[in-house]
């Protein structure tokens, strides 16, 4: 568990992180979303004791990082995968880190195996691809077999195979009961990887929620229905409380009734169903929904969320 309370970091007149409070729980991957410059790396650095908060606190398993008796056994992190001396081999790098952390040599072989670098363990890191650097960085994070793991933008620059591998690894680590906190500025990537998201914009917390809560609540989540008695079915569904949109091809998009309820209603009325497909809004669409109409903003928080979502959406499409 990572616990932040009123966590604040100022660099001179720049406030990088402002009064952040959150709990990162074990057992699920928690995504940390924010546009470039939002304060994600600064927050992670404070969690790892690399930067001191100006105000507030952050603890891992109830203790500040500097008070952890064996930090590598408590927290593992991938911050900058390229921060490894190029003339070292993967093996010697890991061996050196393990020694410094008082960890047994066998862990080096174990983590090399976990990340799939055993065959190149004797090669100089300087010749590694970005994907191999990322794998080595993850191996380093895993050396102490820690219950808490932090990954800062782990998929940056990776090919689809590498992204798929890291995503699965993070989910497996969470399924083992670990706390997994992973930052990204890509909404679609987070949607595939995380079960919960914390969103920050300009250093401030603007959302902290399970992804399914957000996407299910979105009016862009709907059930797609095809029926040979479409007009009759549409009327029945509307009377049952659904909002029904008839599409050009004669199918229906239904909001406000879930697929089992629609199926039950059709059965009761003996109306045919040829397709009944729940369509969940994407994380990006759900956020857009939450922030869509600027004249309806009720608070500065919502305005900030809208700005952040717009920035994330723009970064995500590379515009
Ligand atoms: N050492 C520093 N000195 C001065 N300003 C800093 C320092 N580190 C970060 N900042 C500023 O703090 C803000 C947050 O930066 P941070 O790197 O934490 O954001 P981020 O969300 O990780 O962004 P990115 O995805 O671009 O890394 C930015 O305005 C940045 O310029």
- The atom of ligand 1 lying closest to the CA of 185 is 25
- The DSSP call for residue 195 is S
Q: Is 277 helix (H, G, I), strand (E, B) or coil?
A: strand
- The atom of ligand 1 lying closest to the CA of 17 is 14
Q: Is 288 helix (H, G, I), strand (E, B) or coil?
A: helix
Q: Name the residue with the closest Cα to ligand 1, atom 16.
A: 39
The CATH number of the domain covering residues in 220-279? 3.30.70
Q: Which protein residues are within 6 Å of ligand 1, measured from CB? A: 11, 14, 16, 34, 36-42, 185
Cα–Cα distance measured from residue 82 to residue 128, given in angstroms and rounded to the nearest whole number: 10
Ligand 1 probe mutation, 11, 35, 199, most atoms within 8 A of CB: 11
Q: Taking a C-beta distance cutoff of 8 angstroms, is the pair 180, 30 a contact?
A: yes
17 phi and psi, to 5 degrees? -140, 130
Question: For position 156, what pLDDT does the model report?
Answer: 79
Per-residue pLDDT of the chain (319 residues; tens, 9 = 90+): 999 999 999 999 999 999 999 999 999 999 998 888 889 999 999 999 999 999 999 999 999 999 999 999 999 999 987 777 878 899 999 999 999 989 999 999 999 999 999 999 999 999 898 888 999 999 999 999 999 999 999 987 788 888 999 999 999 999 999 999 999 888 888 888 999 999 888 899 988 999 888 787 777 789 999 999 999 999 999 999 999 999 999 999 999 999 999 999 999 999 999 999 998 888 888 777 766 544 444 566 667 777 777 777 776 554 4
- The atom of ligand 1 lying closest to the CA of 153 is 25
Map out the domains of the chain as residue ranges. 2-210, 220-279
| Dist. CA 41 → ligand 1 center (Å) | 7
Question: For position 290, what pLDDT does the model report?
Answer: 65
Looking at this predicted complex, what is its ipTM? 0.94
Question: For position 36, what pLDDT does the model report?
Answer: 82
Ligand 1 probe mutation, 10, 33, 40, most atoms within 8 A of CB: 40
Helices (H), ranges, the chain: 40-47, 71-74, 90-100, 106-115, 130-142, 160-175, 187-193, 211-217, 230-239, 259-268, 283-290, 300-316
Strands across the sheet with 2-11, in order?
14-24, 2-11, 55-60
| Dist. CA 149 → ligand 1 center (Å) | 21
Q: Name the residue with the closest Cα to ligand 1, atom 4.
A: 11
Q: Taking a C-beta distance cutoff of 8 angstroms, is the pair 101, 95 a contact?
A: no
- The atom of ligand 1 lying closest to the CA of 41 is 22
CA dist list (Å): 104 to 68, 101, 187: 19, 9, 38
| Dist. CA 14 → ligand 1 center (Å) | 9
The CATH number of the domain covering residues in 2-210? 3.40.50.300
- The structure tokens listed for 254 are 């239904």
- The structure tokens listed for 31 are 């995504």
Question: For position 26, what pLDDT does the model report?
Answer: 97
């Amino acid at each position: 568990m990572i616990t932040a309370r009123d966590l604040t970091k100022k660099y001179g007149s720049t406030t990088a992180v402002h009064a952040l409070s959150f709990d990162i729980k074990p057992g699920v991957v928690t995504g940390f979303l924010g546009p470039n410059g939002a304060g994600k790396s600064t927050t992670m650095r404070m969690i790892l004791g690399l930067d001191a908060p100006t105000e507030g606190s952050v603890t891992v398993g109830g203790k500040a990082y500097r008070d952890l008796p064996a930090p590598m056994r408590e927290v593992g992190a991938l911050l900058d995968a390229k921060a490894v001396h190029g003339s070292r081999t993967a093996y010697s790098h890991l061996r050196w880190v393990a020694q410094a952390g008082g960890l047994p040599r066998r862990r080096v072989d174990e983590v090399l195996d976990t990340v799939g670098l055993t065959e190149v363990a004797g090669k100089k890191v300087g010749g590694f691809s970005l994907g191999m650097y990322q794998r080595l960085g993850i191996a380093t994070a895993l050396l102490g077999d820690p219950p808490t793991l932090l990954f800062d933008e782990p998929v940056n620059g990776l090919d689809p195979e590498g992204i798929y591998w890291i995503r699965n690894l993070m989910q497996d680590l969470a399924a083992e009961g670990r706390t997994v906190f992973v930052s990204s500025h890509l909404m679609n990537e987070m949607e595939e990887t995380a079960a919960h998201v914390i969103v920050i914009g300009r250093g401030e917390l603007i959302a902290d929620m399970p992804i399914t809560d957000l996407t299910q609540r979105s009016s862009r989540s709907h059930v797609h229905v095809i029926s040979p008695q479409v007009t009759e079915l549409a009327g029945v569904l509307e009377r049952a409380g659904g909002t029904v949109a008839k599409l050009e091809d004669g199918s229906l998009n239904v909001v406000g009734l879930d697929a089992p309820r629609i199926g039950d209603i059709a059965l009761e009325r003996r109306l045919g169903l040829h397709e009944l497909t729940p369509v969940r809004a994407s994380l990006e669409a759900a956020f857009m929904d939450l922030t869509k109409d600027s004249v309806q903003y009720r608070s500065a928080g919502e305005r900030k969320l809208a700005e952040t979502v717009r920035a994330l959406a723009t970064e995500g499409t590379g515009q």
